């Protein structure tokens, strides 16, 4: 793979080019598309903080075997950058290990710093490792291994089913490495890290109750619960897909009540099954469509296309608004995957126009999609692609915000607050959009 990093503009040039978009959004998206490198000093500083849990996908641009400093067992879950020469507001971003990146984390004058091409541009913080996260069950499994805490502990993220029953190249989503990630994680960290494919619902409820009861700093308290897992096309432990997920929602709600949002991410379901999720206590429903264009949906999500189909997926998503209400149905779009070659759009303009069409159609029906910036993972079928231009990510975030504003919709619930200096969700810059 030929690197093009030396040909790119500096981040401040993009600040100048996109004056209507906050610098926090632009820098965050650049880190998400290129990843980070950590010096030994920066890795040492992470020792007493919350280490990356690999709770679902790898979210790395290099494999575990390529990490010369054992980064996958040493980097923090996420970082928060702020201040520096651009006066940046606090911004949380997930950690993506990468070899080809201009961004690094180092310790300079006893301060963690974010560097661009070796030049310090912002201060950095690592997330605290809460007492509850370090608690262990009798078998040695930590609470954080059962339910990960993400984005400075603002999200409790439950992966209730660690594999996906879309198997092989004819079914797996091309950008996804969930099955490969589990295999790699077991090899690197052992069976204790991923003891079995699914988790015990009462054990999950115990962990979330501990998180809920723990006194924490207001800046890192648990704001929401998100539950996801691989698709179930048959049964797991005798339960079908909906029964399997309902059990977890019910167990958690019985322990902590209904104060916190509970986001359920799963395939698009028929309305009667969607009602079951809502009645069990789910507050937000995310049937992730991933990519809007019909041709690309068929090519990039062959299992989803085979099981449900793109048009039926959209119909079920819109029907779910009648159950959950506006702002509470929030399918994911993998921002950038629509440009994946050889089949994707060739230009930023075409890609943004296509996905904006999806924003507009869904929002017109009360659906508020959310974005995750595409990480080109080595264990996925799309491994080895070049990072997309930064322009794409800035323009898709702007398109989302303008469409959302036009339709006067509430923010997608369960993803934390919005706006520069306030947002907590670390997987996309769209949530940091707003007043400069």
pLDDT value at 435 more than 90 = no
Q: At a CB cut-off of 8 Å and minimum separation 6, what does 357 contact?
A: 292
* Residue 301 DSSP code: -
Q: How far is CA 250 from CA 243, 247, 359, in A?
A: 10, 5, 32
Q: What is the pLDDT of residue 187?
A: 79
For residue range 279-294, list pLDDT tens digits in order: 999 999 999 999 999 9
Q: What is the pLDDT of residue 5?
A: 52
What is the rounded (10 degree) CA torsion for 60, 41, 86, 421? 60
Q: At a CB cut-off of 8 Å and minimum separation 6, what does 175 contact?
A: 290, 300, 334, 337, 340, 374, 376, 377, 380, 381, 382
Report the DSSP beta bridge partners of residue 80.
Answer: 92, 125
For residue range 143-188, list pLDDT tens digits in order: 999 999 999 999 999 999 999 999 999 999 999 999 999 888 877 7
Q: What is the pLDDT of residue 24?
A: 98
> Mean pLDDT throughout 49-75?
94
Q: At a CB cut-off of 8 Å and minimum separation 6, what does 54 contact?
A: 72, 181, 185, 193
Say if residue 12 is exposed, middle or buried (CB neighbours under 10 Å; 0-12, 13-18, 19+): middle
Strands 155-161 and 224-229: parallel
State the SS3 of 320-356: HHHHHCCCCECCEEEECHHHCCCCCCCCHHHHHHHHH
CA gap 424, 77 in Å, rounded: 13
pLDDT value at 1 more than 50 = no
> Mean pLDDT throughout 245-265?
97
Q: What is the pLDDT of residue 217?
A: 80
Q: What are phi and psi of 240, to 5 degrees?
A: -80, 180
| Residue 237 tokens, joined | 């432990």
Say if residue 19 is exposed, middle or buried (CB neighbours under 10 Å; 0-12, 13-18, 19+): exposed
| Residue 282 tokens, joined | 């789910």
pLDDT above 90: percentage of residues in the chain: 90
pLDDT value at 79 more than 80 = yes
CA gap 234, 62 in Å, rounded: 33
DSSP string, 133-201: HH-B-TTS-BHHHHSEEETTTTEEEEEEE-S-S--STTTS-TT--HHHHHHHHHHHH-TTTS-SSB--H
Q: At a CB cut-off of 8 Å and minimum separation 6, what does 246 contact?
A: 276, 277, 280
Q: Is the alpha carbon torsion for 387, 389, 392, 395 positive or negative?
A: positive
- Length reported for the chain: 436
For residue range 366-399, list pLDDT tens digits in order: 999 999 999 999 999 999 999 999 999 999 999 9
Q: What are phi and psi of 3, to 5 degrees?
A: -80, 140
Label residue 202 by pLDDT band (50, 70, 90): very high
Q: What is the pLDDT of residue 3?
A: 47
Q: At a CB cut-off of 8 Å and minimum separation 6, what does 405 contact?
A: none
Extract the runs of DSSP E, i.e. beta strands, from 327-436. 332-335, 370-373
Closest to 221 measured CA to CA, from 319, 155, 295: 155
């Amino acid at each position: 793979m030929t690197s093009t990093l030396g040909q790119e503009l500096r981040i401040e040039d993009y600040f100048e080019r996109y004056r209507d978009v906050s610098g926090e959004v632009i820098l965050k998206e650049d880190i998400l598309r290129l990843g980070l490198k950590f010096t030994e000093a920066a890795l040492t500083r992470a020792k007493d903080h919350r280490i990356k849990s690999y709770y679902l996908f790898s979210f790395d641009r290099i494999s575990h075997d390529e990490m010369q400093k054992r980064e996958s067992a040493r980097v923090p879950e996420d970082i928060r950058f702020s201040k520096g020469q651009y006066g940046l507001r606090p911004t949380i971003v997930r950690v993506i290990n990468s070899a080809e990146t201009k961004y690094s984390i180092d310790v300079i004058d006893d301060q963690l710093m974010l560097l661009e091409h070796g030049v310090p541009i912002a201060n950095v913080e690592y997330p605290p490792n809460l007492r509850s996260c370090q608690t262990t069950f009798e078998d040695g499994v930590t609470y954080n291994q059962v339910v990960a805490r993400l984005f400075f502990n603002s999200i409790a993220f439950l992966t209730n089913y660690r594999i996906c029953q879309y198997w092989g190249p004819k079914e797996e989503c091309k950008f996804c490495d969930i099955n490969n990630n589990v295999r790699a994680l077991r090899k690197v960290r052992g069976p204790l890290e991923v003891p079995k494919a699914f988790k015990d619902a009462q054990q999950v409820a115990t962990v979330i109750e501990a998180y809920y009861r723990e006194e924490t700093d207001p800046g890192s308290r648990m704001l929401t619960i998100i539950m996801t897992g691989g698709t179930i096309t048959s049964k797991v432990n005798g339960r079908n897909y909906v029964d399997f997920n309902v059990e977890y929602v019910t167990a958690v709600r019985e322990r902590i009540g209904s104060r916190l949002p509970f986001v359920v991410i799963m395939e698009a379901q028929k309305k009667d099954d969607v009602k079951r999720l809502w009645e069990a206590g789910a507050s937000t429903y995310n049937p992730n469509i991933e990519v809007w264009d019909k041709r690309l949906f068929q090519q990039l999500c062959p299992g989803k296309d085979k099981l449900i189909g793109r048009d039926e997926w959209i119909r079920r998503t819109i029907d779910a608004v009648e159950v959950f209400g506006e702002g509470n149905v929030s399918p994911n779009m993998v921002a950038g995957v629509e440009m994946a070659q050889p089949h994707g759009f060739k230009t930023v303009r075409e890609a943004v126009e296509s996905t904006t069409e999806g924003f507009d159609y869904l929002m017109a029906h009360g659906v508020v999609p959310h974005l995750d910036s595409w990480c080109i993972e080595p264990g996925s079928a799309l491994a080895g692609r070049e990072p997309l231009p930064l322009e794409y990510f800035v323009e898709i975030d702007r398109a989302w915000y303008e469409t959302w504003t036009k339709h006067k919709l509430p923010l997608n619930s369960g993803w934390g607050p919005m706006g520069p200096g306030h947002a907590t969700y670390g997987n996309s810059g769209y949530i940091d959009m707003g007043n400069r």
